[in-house]
Amino acid sequence: MSNHSGRPQVAGLPHWDRCAVMGVVNVTPDSFSDGGRWFDTTTAVKHGLDLVAQGADLIDVGGESTRPGATRVDEAEELRRVIPVVRGLAAEGVTISVDTMRASVAEQSLAAGAALVNDVSGGLSDPAMIGVVAAAGAPFVVMHWRGFLEGGNVRGVYEDVVTEVVDELRARVAAVLEGGIAADRVIVDPGLGFSKDADHDLALLARLDRLLDLGHPLLVAASRKRFLGRVLADPDGSLPPARERDAATAAVSALSAQAGAWAVRVHEVRATADAVRVVRAVEQARTPDGVSPESDASGAEGAR
Ligand code: PMM
């Protein structure tokens, strides 16, 4: 599941020589961080193309908000939101991931040109999901969410969040493999903010190595999440709004890329696209003894 350079790879998707950037297009009126802004098909497709122009490698299209307390959209409405956007972006040659918990939406999105299914329930919400993805031979993101593991949108209570999330993800990975999805097409995701508070999210980010030990490419989706608001909070405790968390998001992208993540999922692409390129450049400059092969600066313009 990694190439000769050690980069994680996913069968069935392009290979990137650095951490990939997944840009988010939420076709919803109520997503927690960019809800409503990209709600009609034309605007959503244009936004996806803009994100590609800014450096996104793939676009995650979702038609259902997962914000705490959000009510589920019905199937017909989710299809109505998602499929035309998938079709429009596929026609432009964009690599598309579909963010859905419904097998029917996954199936029709794959038929319309999506390359990857991103299910925040890890295949638990819809009993037909794993079979649909397996039959299509598509890659699948298995995200950790206790809300689904425990049959309700519970708050997560953990003694050791890293160990518990890793163990629970391992069990979900076993279930999707059992259901016929090929091992080299399974991506894991800690599900930051899903049944997790800020301390849980930070603890998981501190131990991405433990998630990588699962042996699957790792997706990190920290973009604009509440734990970043907590980190950036004013002394009086007030949190910056979601759209003012993009610089902090790019910092997490750099940390994730450095740790070996396969991809990061972000709303604002440009800063993250730069961040993952800087990480790659630094990696390329690294040699076994820690000295850059081009460290002789005598003929160079100077050290700045
Ligand atoms: N978070 C959201 C939506 N989809 N998918 C994956 N794989 N991982 C996540 O953490 C995740 C996701 C919620 O964020 P949004 O409403 O801002 O898109």
In the residue annotation, 265 being an active-site residue is answered as yes
For the chain, what is the HEC assignment?
CECCCCCECCCCCCCCCCCEEEEEEECCCCCCCCCCCCCCHHHHHHHHHHHHHCCCCEEEEECCCCCCCCCCCCHHHHHHHHHHHHHHHHHCCCCEEEECCCHHHHHHHHHCCCCEEEECCCCCCCCCHHHHHHHHCCCEEEECCHHHHCCCCCCCCCCCHHHHHHHHHHHHHHHHHHCCCCHHHEEEECCCCCCCCHHHHHHHHHCHHHHHCCCCCEEECCCCCHHHHHHCCCCCCCCCCHHHCHHHHHHHHHHHHHHCCCEEEECCHHHHHHHHHHHHHHHHHCCCCCCCCCCCCCCCCCCC
Q: Is residue 250, in this structure, part of any structural domain at all? A: no
Q: Is residue 292, in this structure, part of any structural domain at all? A: no
Q: What is the pLDDT of residue 300?
A: 46
What CA–CA distances, in Å, run from 76 to 21, 63, 81, 227? 30, 11, 9, 33
- How many domains does the chain fold into? 1
The response to whether residue 24 sits with its C-beta less than 6 Å from ligand 1 reads yes
Cα of 141 from ligand 1 centre, angstroms? 11
Q: Is residue 224, in this structure, part of any structural domain at all? A: no
Which atom of ligand 1 is least distant from the CA of 221?
10
Q: Is residue 148, in this structure, part of any structural domain at all? A: yes
Predicted model pTM:
0.92
In the residue annotation, 225 being an active-site residue is answered as yes
Q: What is the pLDDT of residue 151?
A: 66
Q: Is residue 301, in this structure, part of any structural domain at all? A: no
The response to whether residue 98 sits with its C-beta less than 6 Å from ligand 1 reads no
Q: Is residue 197, in this structure, part of any structural domain at all? A: yes
Q: What is the pLDDT of residue 270?
A: 98
- Closest protein CA for atom 13 of ligand 1: 66
Domain with 137, as residue range(s), is 20-219
Q: What is the pLDDT of residue 293?
A: 56
Give average pLDDT by consecutive 10-residue segment, the chain, 304 residues.
68 97 90 62 95 98 83 92 97 98 98 98 95 98 87 80 97 98 98 95 98 98 96 94 95 98 98 98 82 51 50
What are φ and ψ of residue 67, in 5° steps? -60, 150
The response to whether residue 30 sits with its C-beta less than 6 Å from ligand 1 reads no
Cα of 299 from ligand 1 centre, angstroms? 48
The response to whether residue 33 sits with its C-beta less than 6 Å from ligand 1 reads yes
Cα of 22 from ligand 1 centre, angstroms? 11
The response to whether residue 256 sits with its C-beta less than 6 Å from ligand 1 reads no
Which atom of ligand 1 is least distant from the CA of 191?
10
CATH code where residue 117 lies = 3.20.20.20
Q: Is residue 85, in this structure, part of any structural domain at all? A: yes
Q: Is residue 141, in this structure, part of any structural domain at all? A: yes
Q: What is the pLDDT of residue 19?
A: 98
Cα of 134 from ligand 1 centre, angstroms? 22
